[in-house]
């Protein structure tokens, strides 16, 4: 099959012909139809997440059609459309897995990082971590739901009953969670990189109460803030805009260091917490909720061969919404 391979960190992906993967026990083999890009892919390429599988097929927001089922998996799934997320395998036995916190499993494996992902014509995935996709979504529209959507949803849950939420970094995850916030009857404000008027207009089109530069003071105190941009100083900025009792939720897997700040910013029972991965419960809840809202994703499609161009566009902030690699249906 054709795949875009990362041979070594800090190098471009290489288009290569590699053997088709084979599904093992408990696994599904899928023909990839679409795979959305994520900033985490850039962190892997840049060496900011250590010890990736090498060579590696990146990509962890996968929509595919099941073509084969491994031992112990129901054959009735063949021909169905499934989504494959970042969390690809857990042990099922540790204290985290047995207490509903499988996202913290120490032995966990991750799609497009320690497992091969979706920048390829085919992928294998653990049946436990594959989600059914509502028929109302075209492949490329569904793909961003598998990480941008899921991480945004988990981040929003950590905001509790916050009524006004600040979103720092208005990209793929933000444009999805903004729609959930609106559906729930809450309000959000957007903080974007200085001078990015297009991002401000995009946020306003999705119902932002206001949109301003990321280093600006909020026009009103925030009950919660979600920081999607991987910039530690924004955590301090968000704290400065936070109401007493509020929370700053860090929604990325990697972030630059958070600088020191006066304790007065944290006092008043404010808190900072991170989001780590996802659980199957997150996936099942969100994938059922998305078509009811209904969430609509804004995507820019690229061919598999153009994955490096797509990643460059993501890095440069040239995209509104999500970038998605798409592949032709079936392989014949």
What is the chain's length? 332
> pLDDT value at position 10?
97
Domains of the chain: 2-145+298-326 (3.90.180.10), 150-274 (3.40.50.720)
What pLDDT, in 10s, does the model give residues 23-74? 999 999 999 999 999 999 999 999 999 999 999 999 999 999 999 999 999 9
Q: Per-residue pLDDT for 319 more than 50?
A: yes
Sheet holding 14-17, edge to edge: 14-17, 2-6, 56-57
What pLDDT, in 10s, does the model give residues 166-209? 999 999 999 999 999 999 999 999 999 998 999 999 999 999 99
What pLDDT, in 10s, does the model give residues 67-113? 999 999 999 999 999 999 999 999 999 999 999 999 999 999 999 99
Between strands 87-89 and 109-110, the pairing is antiparallel
- Residue 207: helix, strand or coil by DSSP? coil
Torsion of CA 91, 31, 132, 94, to 10 degrees: 0
What pLDDT, in 10s, does the model give residues 277-307? 999 999 999 999 999 999 999 999 999 999 9
Between strands 187-192 and 164-168, the pairing is parallel
Where are the alpha helices (H) located in the chain, listed in sequence order? Answer: 39-45, 139-142, 148-157, 172-183, 197-205, 233-240, 263-266, 280-289, 307-316
> pLDDT value at position 330?
61
User: In whole angstroms, what is the distance from residue 225 CA to residue 228 CA?
Assistant: 10
> pLDDT value at position 331?
56
Alpha-carbon radius of gyration of the chain: 19
Instruction: Label residue 332 by pLDDT band (50, 70, 90).
Output: very low
Between strands 27-36 and 62-69, the pairing is antiparallel
User: In whole angstroms, what is the distance from residue 34 CA to residue 291 CA?
Assistant: 18
Beta pairing partners, 187: 164
Instruction: Label residue 329 by pLDDT band (50, 70, 90).
Output: confident
């Amino acid at each position: 099959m054709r795949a875009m391979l990362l041979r070594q960190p800090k190098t471009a992906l290489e288009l290569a012909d590699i053997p088709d993967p084979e599904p093992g026990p408990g696994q599904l083999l899928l023909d990839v139809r679409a795979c959305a890009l994520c900033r985490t892919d850039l962190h892997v390429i840049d060496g900011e997440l250590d010890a990736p599988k090498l060579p590696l097929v990146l990509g962890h927001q996968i929509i595919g059609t099941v073509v084969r089922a491994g031992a112990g998996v129901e054959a009735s799934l063949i021909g169905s459309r499934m989504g494959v997320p970042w969390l690809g395998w857990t042990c099922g036995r540790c204290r985290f897995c047995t207490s509903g916190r499988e996202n913290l499993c120490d032995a966990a494996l991750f799609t497009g990082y320690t497992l091969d992902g979706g920048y390829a014509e085919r992928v294998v995935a653990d049946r436990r971590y594959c989600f059914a996709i509502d028929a109302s979504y075209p492949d490329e529209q569904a793909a961003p739901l598998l990480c941008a959507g899921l991480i945004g949803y988990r981040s929003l849950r950590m905001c509790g009953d916050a009524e006004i939420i600040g979103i720092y970094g208005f990209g793929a995850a933000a444009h999805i969670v903004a729609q959930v916030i609106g559906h729930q009857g809450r309000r959000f404000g957007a903080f974007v990189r200085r001078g990015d008027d297009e991002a401000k207009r995009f946020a306003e089109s999705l119902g932002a109460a206001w949109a301003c530069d990321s280093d600006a003071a909020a026009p009103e105190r925030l009950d919660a803030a979600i920081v999607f941009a991987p910039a530690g100083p924004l955590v301090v900025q968000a704290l400065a805009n936070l109401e007493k009792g509020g929370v700053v939720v860090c929604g990325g897997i990697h972030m630059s260091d958070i600088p020191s700040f006066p304790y007065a910013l944290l006092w008043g029972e404010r808190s900072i917490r991170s989001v780590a991965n996802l659980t199957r419960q997150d996936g099942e809840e969100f994938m059922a909720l998305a078509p009811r809202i209904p969430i609509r994703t804004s995507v820019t499609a690229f061919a598999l061969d153009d994955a490096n161009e797509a990643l460059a566009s993501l890095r440069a902030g040239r995209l509104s919404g999500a970038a998605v690699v798409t592949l032709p249906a079936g392989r014949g």
